[in-house]
Chains A and B, each alone.
Chain A
């Protein structure tokens, strides 16, 4: 790779989250039996006409606004024409010169560095059908025909697989957060085409690019980029030329494979789609759609991190699901220890949450109480964990239970010293290890004390007492000298 720069632009197809298709009333539900969501419009029967799905347009505009695009007040549909058996009409209804959204951008964090990726355009288009090969026969499933998609076209400003996947992740995060798409790659509701070329470092002009079609996972995108870049560099190093090609990524071999060579640019014979009127949007309509967009994930992550003093990694998890964010914020308002709260939520509560969308079995109020009890030094984290387990089964007030069952921390030095001495007596090995310089051995001694106190021993005090006792016993007695 040394001495070369790779230049990547991505075309991302995302399925819009509508109940019905882009041009008819058929369902967009995934996994229906073949050809059961397929009417004359989907099948391109003679005489059938498309009609706009207004909800799809609304979601596409929302995507444009969330990605900082300029929204066209008048945009038109165009037919992209080619023959293929999965394309019933012999053309795909898409958009040409007048796309719905243009000139946007997305700011992403790549390994801690901020990068802004320009978005050339976003347009609305329909999906094609699916071919199924069985033996020597091919069957066509028309259920996907007419599924509403947006194509998001980035500028060629990405320079590594890492940048590409950071961009894709950020894109998915926004689209999911805004309710625009599910972005389920395994169901094909988010797919990516990679355009890639390489050039000598310092060159301004772009090299000949290849296009890698339809990659359906972020890690495959990274791998495909790595492979294709080294393939192209290899060609140039051997004095050969990169040919303009369409390739695909082979998941098994990790290589990109030639599909077809483009001797000249594809000619799709674009023509105005006269069966559909132009999409006309008034400022008020666009504003209303913009109002629906709340705080975007990246901004929310930053705010959470700053407001509650939690790490950006933790903030990232807390903002990965809007319901989780809302839950956390509700609980955080009720305690002065948001950082402890975040720890309890992330390392304990989430283990007990099932299902795709976050839904907590314990109320935000109870979690806030636990964090407060911990923060005020009333209970230890290990008691807090136990209380969480109990709260999963039945709701109660943690404060009352702690009092009634005397679960509070043991801070009485005398009492605690007794446990400490017992632990030291029972674990001579650990004592030896510690005194031989293995600081970690102290942890097992603390664990022993915790076990004896059912987790109630004040951790810091226990540590202090242990250290003091071991120093006094001091085998090599450095400290005593």
Chain B
């Protein structure tokens, strides 16, 4: 049996049912693990030990009476620090919100609370979810549990690292252009970005409203399926939320589109992709080549739209009503510029400036409007491709986790999102699955599956054919 801190939701429930340990025991063990490892990994920004133990004891009391609330009752988890948590500070890894304690719970936090899950704390991220390495956290970067000299990925780096390092059973993340799948890939865990709108965004601090999705980071696709069944529901507080109406799982031959193209993956990632392809082919799948529609347009459109929406969504962080503000400013205009200038990080400021620029009346048509047209084009083409394929098989990221400080230019960083942004531009569900480790470095390899809207069911079914227990590498490291 694996170390208990790396077990799945189902395994914990079975063990707790058999009285092997209680939710309180498990919660204490995770808290100890966090205490030991967080200094090195930097996955958590805030730990709520007291709240977690309290919730765990309540869960144990329910279990004793046979009144469990759900399959997640008593399961310790953590949330990226851009989910609003009532009474627990929520920073978005920004100086500006360093001391901000929200008065309300995000819908997903509320659902998990009502389901009896135990919130351990809040996880590190790139500031306001802008980045792919967690290096833009205003506090400290998150390190890769497989190799602390490498990044955990981002922006949900804390979420991926926490699950990967046995510091939470599962974690909530957010995915705007790959922010759940890329760190999941780097840290060797499963990362799901669901269909746009099927999990409520209420209380998720927005980056780009038209692309943001609440994402899940788990040990297995089965855990994702379980969590999604609980979290996916129409929320009256989010007008963009919709009910999930699962696509039927294809009968007969599975049609797989295999992404082709130069420079999309390192040899090791390419090799993982090949293995996945062979596995599916061996199981009777038809594998056909697939090429990304207009990759240059896609990245450009993504960059313009994400920055435009971010510049708007972040306008509320002005130091007036909540959050920190600088106290030396004269007049309200200076208060805005000094607060935002001094308390927001470099990458955040860059995107706000870029987004504001492309929305200006004189540039709007050239950038923002064009990007919207591109996006529609890409969405149409992606949706059309699902007439040919049930699922698209691709790398999640071009490479395995890179070293801290290795990537220096923002465009280099943005380019790594190529395979993931399509799902966000078109609102599609996509999942990143760990797929063995790289020879030599021992770093996790991964693949990504993308399906048509509401095709999570298809993703889980294909994942169950593919999933290789990745804990093997772990047993050595724990």
Contacts and interface: CB of A to CB of B under 8 A. Distances in A.
Contacts of B360: 267, 269
Interface string A261-277: 00001010111101111
Given A45-B103, A48-B203, A85 B239 contact: no
B210 A274 contact: yes
A47 interface: yes
Interface in B192-215: 201-206, 208-210
B374 to A, nearest CB: 15
A49 B320 CA distance: 19
Interface in B349-406: 356, 359-361, 364, 368, 372
Interface stretch (A88-96, A311-319, A338-346, A445-453): A88-96
B312 interface: yes
Given A89-B315, A91-B315, A47 B205 contact: yes
Given A43-B321, A45-B103, A46-B316, A271 B201 contact: no
Interface in B65-105: 82-84, 90, 92, 97, 100, 102-104
A46 B321 contact: no
A107 to B, nearest CB: 35
Nearest to A46: B205
B332 interface: yes
A46 B359 contact: no
B236 interface: yes
A162 interface: no
A436 B332 CA distance: 79
Nearest to B203: A47
A44 B321 CA distance: 9
B239 A90 contact: no
A40 B332 contact: no
B322 A45 contact: yes
Contacts of B368: 271
Interface in A376-404: none
B175 interface: no
B239 A44 contact: no
Contact of B312 (A43, A47, A51, A79): A79
B282 to A, nearest CB: 43
B452 to A, nearest CB: 20
B315 A81 contact: yes
A352 interface: no
A83 interface: yes
A271 B312 contact: yes
Given A91-B315, A267-B360, A49 B104 contact: no
A52 B239 contact: yes
Contacts of A275: 206, 209, 239-240
B240 A277 contact: yes
B308 interface: yes
A375 interface: no
A265 B210 CA distance: 28
Contacts of B336: 83
Nearest to A43: B321
Contact of A40 (B90, B103, B206, B311): B103
A81 B97 contact: no
Given A85-B320, A274-B309, A275-B209, A46 B315 contact: no
B11 interface: no
Contacts of B320: 85, 88, 140
A104 B372 CA distance: 30
B312 A265 contact: no
B159 to A, nearest CB: 17
Contacts of A79: 312
A91 B309 CA distance: 12
Interface in B278-331: 308-309, 311-312, 314-318, 320-322
A68 interface: no
A23 to B, nearest CB: 9
Interface in A50-92: 50-52, 79, 81, 83, 85, 88-91
A60 B9 CA distance: 50
A391 to B, nearest CB: 53
Contacts, number: 105
B237 interface: yes
Given A85-B320, A269-B356, A46 B102 contact: yes
B238 interface: yes
Interface in A422-457: none
Given A90-B318, A271-B312, A272-B210, A47 B84 contact: yes
Interface string A317-342: 00000000000000000000000000
Contacts of B230: none
Contact of B84 (A46, A52, A274): A46
Given A88-B316, A90-B316, A271-B308, A49 B237 contact: yes
B312 A46 contact: no
Contact of B359 (A48, A270, A276): A270
Contacts of A85: 320, 332
Contacts of B83: 47
A81 B100 CA distance: 24
- Select the residue from A48, A52, A79 with max chain B CB neighbours within 10 A: A48
A158 B3 CA distance: 80
A312 B407 CA distance: 80
Interface in A263-312: 265, 267, 269-272, 274-277
Contacts of A52: 239
B249 interface: no
A43 B318 CA distance: 13
B239 A49 contact: yes
A210 B366 CA distance: 30
A46 B236 contact: no
Given A88-B321, A140-B321, A271-B309, A49 B201 contact: yes
B102 A47 contact: yes
B332 A49 contact: no
A270 to B, nearest CB: 7
Nearest to B361: A267
- Select the residue from A43, A79, A90 with max chain B CB neighbours within 10 A: A90
Interface of B: 82-84, 90, 92, 97, 100, 102-104, 106, 201-206, 208-210, 236-240, 308-309, 311-312, 314-318, 320-322, 332-333, 336, 356, 359-361, 364, 368, 372
19 contacts: A40-B104, A43-B321, A43-B322, A45-B104, A47-B106, A48-B203, A49-B238, A51-B238, A85-B332, A88-B320, A88-B321, A90-B315, A269-B312, A269-B359, A269-B360, A269-B361, A271-B312, A275-B240, A277-B239
Query: What 5 pairs across the A-B complex have the smallest Cβ distances?
Result: A90-B315, A274-B210, A274-B209, A269-B359, A47-B84
Given A47-B202, A83-B336, 14 more contacts: A40-B102, A46-B316, A47-B106, A49-B201, A50-B239, A79-B312, A85-B320, A89-B316, A90-B315, A267-B360, A269-B311, A272-B210, A274-B309, A275-B240
